[in-house]
Amino acid sequence: MVSKKTPSRFQPGTRSYTMSRIRGTETSIERQVRSYLFSRGLRFRKNDKRYPGHPDVVLPKWRAMVFVNGCFWHMHQGCAKFSLPKSNVEFWTTKLTRNRLRDQEQGDKLKAMGWRVFTVWECELDARHAQETLQKLYEAITADGHSNEGVKDEQIERQTTRG
């Protein structure tokens, strides 16, 4: 059987190098979300490694965590920015499915710890939708009307585990 290999747009090694340059933190969409929340007076920690999934924004005062997900890397279903690559399909299907399952597991763990978990997708931060999306996020975070003012993370965790 003759393999039909489509010619690559890249020279050998270029694709690997290009993919390796994609950042996992400090992306433009993360900075956009953080900048908006900070401008609205919310204070937070970023990429806190103490929690499952290393949330992009941790707001202990509001018991909220925000994940800012790229549509491709986290398989945003029904999104125009997500499509499965046509080459090396088995690898990409496995990798992206694993990312999606891991996101769900980490979100479940955080909810079990008493955190409210929010996900903002890359496509929701395009020029047409960004302001509305960020406003809704802010309102959702501050929705309960009270914060855990002056209480540290460790104290909150102990309070939720006791009762």
> Would you call 119 helix, strand, or coil by DSSP?
strand
Of residues 57 and 10, the one with the higher pLDDT is 57
* Domains along the sequence of the chain with CATH: 25-143 (3.40.960.10)
Position 19 pLDDT exceeds 70 = no
Q: Using 50, 70 and 90 to split pLDDT, how confident is the model at 116? A: very high
Of residues 36 and 161, the one with the higher pLDDT is 36
Mean pLDDT of 132-140: 95
> Would you call 61 helix, strand, or coil by DSSP?
helix
- Give the pLDDT confidence score for residue 82 in this predicted structure: 87
Q: Using 50, 70 and 90 to split pLDDT, how confident is the model at 158? A: very low
Mean pLDDT of 158-163: 42
Mean pLDDT of 108-115: 95
- Give the pLDDT confidence score for residue 151 in this predicted structure: 45
How does DSSP classify residue 26?
S
- Give the pLDDT confidence score for residue 161 in this predicted structure: 45
Which residue, chain included where needed, has tokens 């978990």? 117
Give the tens place of pLDDT for each residue, 69-83.
Answer: 999 889 998 888 888
> Would you call 8 helix, strand, or coil by DSSP?
coil
Distance CA 160, CA 115 (A): 10
Alpha helix (H) residue ranges in the chain: 14-20, 28-39, 89-112, 130-141, 153-162
Q: Using 50, 70 and 90 to split pLDDT, how confident is the model at 150? A: very low
In this structure, the number of other CB atoms found within 10 A of the CB of residue 99 comes to: 15
Q: Using 50, 70 and 90 to split pLDDT, how confident is the model at 35? A: very high
